[in-house]
Structure 1
Amino acid sequence: MTAAPAHRAAPPGRSAHRVKFGHVLAAEWTKIRTVKSTFWTLLAGAVVLIGFTALWALAFSATFDQMTDTERATFTPMTPIQVAFYFAMVVFGALGVLVITAEYSTGMIRTALTSVPRRAHYLAAKTLVLALVVLAVGVAVTFASFFVAQPILAGKGLDGSIGDPGVLRAVVGGGVWLMLIAVMALALGTLLRHTAGSIVLVFVALFVLGIAGGFLPGSWGATVNEYLPSNAGSAILAPARQPDQLAPWTGLAVFAIYTVVLLAAALVVMERRDA
């Protein structure tokens, strides 16, 4: 009579069974929709984008007669939204940071990575859920911002239609850009594992660099400025290519490359260090 073979113990820190990606995805969906900060941050982002769009539409309508010919020529029905995005993108970036750093600050990350030993699956599921949530909210809020601004702009004949050339692409593209911003912020949060520091870095990457790039001298400075994260990404918001920006889809693609590179770096770091 032969003895039954002994079961090999699972390696330390590894699950005895393989966790399916669908289960990880479901767990991340449960987490993101049950955490109160998700709802409030999304609401704050919506209020900021819609509110600042309305304010800038009022400001442009009130000052349009005093604008120069160049300023008038570059004005589009999307201009108030383009300005408002500089405020809203930091809020959506903060959401991306909080989705990951909250788990590090509470210690939940250790439980999560014990349950899901394959860290690539864990990060991929978290990224996908965040991306889908922000994409849905971002597109809806950008549409709402557009339709809030147009009646205000109509008083000066500055309003437009969603069917105008490039406008629908700009509105939908705005939601896609917000999604990429949140995912980039998630990657930065994974790299730093610190909420405040990560949010500051998001602010620097999306706001400060864009302003600083405008002070770079010469033609090379203008070229570098076009490829800075916020300047590249914001190109998608213009109905037609602007003289000092990349083409809309090119700019969004450049921002997507930044995001993918940071996300890959985040995965490498997560694989190599302890939770």
Structure 2
Amino acid sequence: MASVPAVLRSEWTKIRTVSSTTWTLVSALVVTVALGGALSAVVSSQFGTLSDMDRATFDPTYTSFSGMVLGQLAMVVFGVLVVGSEYSSGMIRGSLAAVPQRATFLFSKILVAGVLALVVGLITGFLAFFLGQALLGDHGTNIGEPNVLRAVIGSGLYMTLIALFSMGVTAMLRSSILSLGILMPFFFLVSQILAAVPGAKDVARYFPDQAGRQITQVVSGALNSTPAPYGPWEGLGIMALWVVAALGGGYAVLKKRDA
């Protein structure tokens, strides 16, 4: 019977020795920070042309996280690769032979990858915030204002949950290609489009990304978004329920099916 510390060390070795997983985390950080900074600079230069409504609902904190729409896709890839690479390479047979306790195997992988995603997510959130506020200049805010620190830390939690959700989905589908083929269009296109369609947006606001991203807002209705019927922490809780369901489904499949 493999000990938990030994399994954790093994999973850490797998992640840090695969260059693709490292680069996806770097991409998540760079894309989120760079795009958020670029959009913050554009908003700052065009602030005088904004309507009275846009100025009244302007959220400098949320603006600095604009790059997260694309940055989260790199986190999706990270989550998919952490689990899916075991199946695509055939390593899953050896892994389960070494660690026959499937709960220990899966949740050790999730714990290691989740902690790593959290660290990168928090660093990304703070970097995106401070760069964005520097570029917004007089239109920016500071970390000590009400709810701003919550939003910054929440951005890191959001990125982490995106990665965990992707791991759970991949554990269910047992394929990196299939998982990416579903998750990437869903987060990049389907969720964004449905969130803008009257009627459909009432359902889309309960999607994991739409609900979870509420934690990054300080001003309700920022960037012409429709105010949600729940608060920031409730939104993150809805996303967490999606994650629990995905991870539970992944474990059920792993436990029932052979490698």
Is it true that 1:190 corresponds to 2:160 in the alignment? no
1:161 alignment partner, one of 134, 142, 150: 142
The one-letter code sitting in structure 2 at the alignment partner of 1:55 is: A
Looking at CA atoms only, which structure, 1 or 2, has the larger radius of gyration? Answer: 1
2:33 aligns to what SS in structure 1?
Answer: helix
Q: Is the 8 A contact 2:32 2:66 kept in 1?
A: no
**SS in structure 2 of the partner of residue 173 of structure 1:** helix
Answer yes or no: is the 8 Å Cα contact 2:151–2:218 preserved in 1: yes
Q: Does the Cα contact within 8 Å between 1:241 and 1:248 map onto a contact in 2?
A: no
Give the conservation status (yes or no) of the 8 Å contact 2:57–2:220.
no
CA distance in 2, matches of 1:239, 1:141: 18
CA–CA distance in structure 1, aligned partners of residues 235 and 157 of structure 2:
12
Per-residue deviation, residues 15-71 of structure 1 (Å, max 9, x unmatched): xxx212221111111211222112211111111011101111111112222221121
Q: Does 1:131 align with 2:110?
A: no
Letter in 1 for 2:118: L
Q: Partner of 1:116 in structure 2?
A: 99
User: Are 1:174 and 2:170 counterparts?
Assistant: no
Deviation larger for 136-145 or 26-35 = 26-35
Q: Tell me the amino acid that sits aligned with residue 199 of structure 1.
A: L
Kept in 2, the 8 Å contact 1:233–1:254? The answer is yes
Tell me which of the two structures has the higher relative contact order, counting C-alpha pairs closer than 8 angstroms and 6 or more residues apart: 2
Superposed CA offset, 1:159-205 (max 9, x none) = 11011111100000100111110011111111222222212322233
Cα offset for 1:241?
4.0
Q: Which amino acid aligns with 1:143?
A: F
Deviations 1:203-228 (CA, angstroms, capped at 9, x unpaired) = 2332333223235444xx45323212
- SS of the equivalent of 1:111 reads helix
Instruction: Name the aligned partner's letter for residue 60 of structure 1.
Output: V
**Aligned amino acid, residue 21 of structure 1:** V
Structure 2 residue runs of 5 or longer lacking an equivalent are: none
Q: Show the 5 A alignment for 1:1-275.
A: 18-154=1-137, 157-218=138-199, 221-242=200-221, 244-245=227-228, 246-275=230-259
Structure 1 residues 166 and 233, CA, compared in 2 at 3 Å: closer, same or farther? same
Name structure 1 gaps, 5 residues minimum. Answer: 1-17
Q: Which amino acid aligns with 1:110?
A: R
Identity level (%): 35
Amino acid at match of 2:113: L
